[in-house]
């Protein structure tokens, strides 16, 4: 029996996360009402909960969290052509609002007025039902589970990062950080043809996971490790070679510096992690060794590719999902992510559908 209450995970202000019943919205023109099934907790959800803000994005009114979501179309608004009730979908949370220069050139993630779920003041998908622009809901084949559908969001960050880095066959890739984002970058780098992947982290259990998921070399970083030492360790792991591409997924200043040191001359350093907004980096090294430093702001044009990769089993994101909680236990799920236990915590929002 379909649930008729819209239980939602609402952040009121810093440190005030509540489960509360909200109204089920009606789908507008070109929208669908999605019965949410699986939602992954992202580090940014925890950050908003713990700090009430990320940079200039401040929680000023209650906001539903969650932007890694999948579900089933429950109702179709007028104008929707490609979806029908019962379709299983993955939700892309970023929807451009205007057809500006960035949209016209295909890089809609850079549009300054873009809507993004669970970024203040916009509500997210950690609830039983939510409406979404139908053009940003992608039909999932039967062979792709709801959890895989939710994992398309972090997977998209990696597809975009590896595209920005130009990862291709035979590349040596260095990934800094073995959290969810570092690990999806590992999967995508491999699938794009990287021949040797080195990954580092402070956490030995996360490095063990990386090894299981196909990393060729792991480097345990210690509090005392310097950026220069880390660069040297990467070279040593690669038998004296240096990575063509480094993908920074920690946000730690030391790791950004190590990314510069480690990358071969003429190579690419991709910055995904967010930490100190004005981190010091060895600029001279960037200049004289002609490193290309490239930023990553979420993603664009990734869902169709991600679905194809999952359906063809070229990428397996399932090992990343380490914990599952029913929506009713959302606060416990958030505590689990906050403590850094496991990798990806999934909330199960549809009690009538026990499928993964
Ligand atoms: P996470 O916190 O789960 O993982 C980060 C990992 O980095 C952890 O395993 C941690 O142990 C490791 N780490 C931290 N300091 C380190 C150090 N000095 N040396 C080695 N390892 C270190 O976060 P996540 O969900 O994997 O996300 C990673 C980063 O990517 C975050 O900063 C997040 O904000 C960012 N992010 C950016 C975008 C974007 O669009 N640019 C999108 C998604 C996430
Ligand atoms: O999956 C999207 C995502 N984006 C993150 C972090 C986690 N998950 N980003 C880091 C924070 N920025 S932001 O520009 N912002 C709060 C809008 O500082 C967006 C990208
Ligand atoms: Zn996220």
Of 40, 54, 151, the residue with max ligand 2 atoms within 8 A of its CB, to mutate for a pocket test, comes to 54
- In short, whether 54's Cβ falls inside 6 Å of ligand 2 is yes
Question: What are the pLDDT digits (tens) for 81-128?
Answer: 999 999 999 999 999 999 999 999 999 999 999 999 999 999 999 999
CA of 16 to the centre of ligand 2 (A): 21
pLDDT of residue 3: 59
Residue 2: the pLDDT is 58
**CA 249 from centre of chain:** 11
Q: Is the pLDDT of residue 65 over 60?
A: yes
Reading the block at residue 113, the tokens are: 């007025």
Query: Residue 15 is encoded by which pair of tokens?
Result: 């440190």
Strands (DSSP E) contained in 14-163 are: 16-22, 31-40, 53-54, 57-58, 63-64, 68-76, 88-91, 94-95, 115-116, 129-133, 137-139
**Beta-carbon contacts of residue 139 (< 8 Å; ≥ 6 apart):** 82, 83, 87, 88, 89
Choose one of 109, 250, 279 to mutate for the ligand 1 pocket test, by most ligand atoms within 8 angstroms of C-beta: 250
- For 153-197, give the DSSP string: HHHHHHHHHHHHHT--TT-EEEEE--SHHHHHHHHHHHHTT-SEE
Cα of 171 vs centre of ligand 3, distance in Å, is 27
pLDDT at 62 exceeding the cut of 70: yes
266 alpha carbon – ligand 3 mean position (Å): 30
Q: Which of 178, 282, 280 is nearest to 221 (CA)?
A: 178
Ligand in nearest proximity to the CA of 256: 1
Contact 90, 141 (CB under 8 A): no
Q: What is the pLDDT of residues 297-326, one digit of tens each?
A: 999 999 999 999 999 999 999 999 999 999
Looking at residue 78, its pLDDT comes to 98
Tell me the CA–centroid distance for residue 8 and ligand 2, in Å.
22
Ligand 2 in reach of 158 Cβ (< 6 A): no
Under the banding of pLDDT at 50, 70 and 90, the label for residue 4 is confident
Does the C-beta of 325 come closer than 6 Å to ligand 2? Answer: no
Q: Which domains does the chain have, with CATH numbers?
A: 6-151+317-348 (3.90.180.10), 156-295 (3.40.50.720)
Burial class (CB in 10 A: 0-12, 13-18, 19+), 86: exposed
């Amino acid at each position: 029996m379909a649930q008729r209450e819209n239980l939602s995970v609402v952040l009121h202000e810093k440190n005030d996360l509540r489960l509360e019943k909200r109204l089920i919205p009606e789908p507008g023109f070109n929208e669908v009402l999605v019965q949410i099934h699986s939602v992954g907790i992202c580090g940014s959800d925890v950050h908003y909960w713990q700090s009430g803000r990320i940079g200039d994005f401040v929680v000023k009114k209650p906001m539903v969290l969650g932007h890694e979501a999948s579900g089933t179309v429950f109702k179709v608004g007028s104008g929707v052509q490609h979806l029908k009730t019962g379709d299983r979908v993955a939700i892309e949370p970023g929807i451009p609002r205007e057809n500006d220069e960035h949209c016209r050139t295909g890089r809609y993630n850079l549009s300054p007025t873009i809507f993004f779920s669970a970024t203040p003041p916009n509500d997210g998908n950690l609830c039983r039902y939510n409406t979404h622009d139908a053009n940003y809901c992608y039909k999932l084949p039967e062979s792709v589970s709801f959890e895989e559908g939710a994992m398309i969001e972090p997977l998209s960050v990696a597809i975009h990062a590896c595209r920005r880095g130009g990862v291709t066959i035979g590349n040596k890739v260095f990934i800094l950080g073995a959290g969810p984002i570092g690990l999806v970058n590992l999967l995508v780098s491999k699938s794009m043809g990287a021949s040797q992947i080195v990954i580092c982290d402070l956490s030995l259990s996360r490095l063990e996971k990386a090894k299981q998921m196909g990393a060729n070399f792991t480097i345990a970083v210690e509090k005392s490790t310097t950026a220069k030492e880390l660069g040297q360790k990467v070279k040593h792991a690669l038998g004296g070679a240096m990575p063509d591409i480094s993908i920074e997924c920690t946000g730690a200043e030391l790791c950004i510096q190590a990314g510069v040191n480690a990358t071969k001359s003429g190579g690419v350093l991709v910055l995904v992690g967010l930490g100190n907004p004005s981190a010091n980096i060895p600029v001279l090294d960037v200049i004289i060794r002609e490193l290309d430093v490239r930023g990553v702001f979420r993603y664009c044009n990734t869902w169709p590719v991600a679905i194809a990769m999952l359906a063809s089993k070229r990428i397996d994101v399932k090992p990343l999902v380490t914990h599952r909680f029913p929506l009713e236990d959302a606060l416990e799920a958030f505590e689990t992510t906050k403590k850094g236990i496991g990798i990806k915590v999934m909330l199960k929002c549809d009690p009538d559908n026990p499928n993964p």
